[in-house]
Amino acid sequence: MKLLNLDFTRIAHDTFRIAGSQVIYIDPYKVAKHEEANIVLISHEHFDHLNLDDLNKVIMPGTTIVASPLCKDGLQGVKVKEIRFLDPGGKFTVGKVEIEGVAAYNLNKFREPGKVFHPKGEKRLGFLIKMDGTTVYFAGDTDVIPEMKSIRCDIALLPVSGTYVMTAEEAAEAAKIINPKIAVPMHYGAIVGSDADAKKFKSLVKNCQVEII
């Protein structure tokens, strides 16, 4: 789907292919066909985000991988042009594509009492991607967090499934805080969440255009 001047494909869960002057894959998972990506972004180490079988379908010797430091062990032995690990707030430029790591963590999604699935400070990431004059925010596995107040973007990719990430209602709150031109729901349809969550998100968001991909 063409959004502004970039082409977006949601492959599964929160896997996106974004194509403009470069081809970018984010968290490749359940990738059906081989394609050479210029840039691969990996938000954290969990199997539905860092999956070597799927990663190997989209990398080539000239690929640059930008990832959370939690992915260091999982990416050992991967042969690409460069692997760069970013902390939240870290920035890296690949050609003319600017990438910034953004905090992503839970506040109210617990694996057991007092222990959230994605704790703050463990350096799991969202990403801000600037390509071809468009800024895309990929939120990663996160709740509504204070850092969202400083996000400035044209397109926001927001998780909606609940359980490990924001619910549809919380994602609508995030869309209101961030106020992008376009919001796209993600993180549903594979592990947790369903099309109903995406549709609920669309029905709740009033401040910007919502596209379900």
- What's 92's domain CATH number? 3.60.15.10
Q: What does the pLDDT look like over 102-144, one tens digit per residue? A: 999 989 878 888 898 888 988 999 999 999 999 999 999 999 9
Residue 160: both structure tokens together:
């909606």
* Residues spanned by the domain of 61: 2-210
Calculate the dihedral angle through the C-alpha atoms of 64, 153, 195, 197, rounding to the nearest 10 degrees: 130
DSSP H stretches of helix in 39-167: 52-55
| CA angle (101 as vertex; 93, 185 as ends), nearest 5 | 110
| CA angle (85 as vertex; 84, 88 as ends), nearest 5 | 135
Q: In what order do the strands lie in the sheet with 125-131?
A: 91-94, 97-103, 125-131, 134-138, 155-159, 182-186, 209-210
pTM: predicted TM-score of the whole model, two decimal places: 0.95
**E-strand spans in the chain?**
2-3, 6-12, 15-19, 23-26, 39-42, 64-67, 82-85, 91-94, 97-103, 110-112, 115-116, 125-131, 134-138, 155-159, 182-186, 209-210
> Please, are residues 141 and 164 in contact by the beta-carbon 8 Å criterion?
yes
> Please, are residues 85 and 50 in contact by the beta-carbon 8 Å criterion?
no
Q: What does the pLDDT look like over 42-56, one tens digit per residue? A: 999 988 889 999 999
pLDDT tens digits in sequence order for the chain, 213 residues long: 999 999 999 998 889 999 999 999 999 999 999 999 999 999 999 888 899 999 999 999 999 999 999 999 999 999 999 999 999 999 999 999 999 999 999 898 788 888 988 889 889 999 999 999 999 999 999 999 999 999 999 999 999 987 788 999 999 999 999 999 999 999 897 777 779 999 999 999 999 999 999
As for how many domains the chain has, the answer is 1
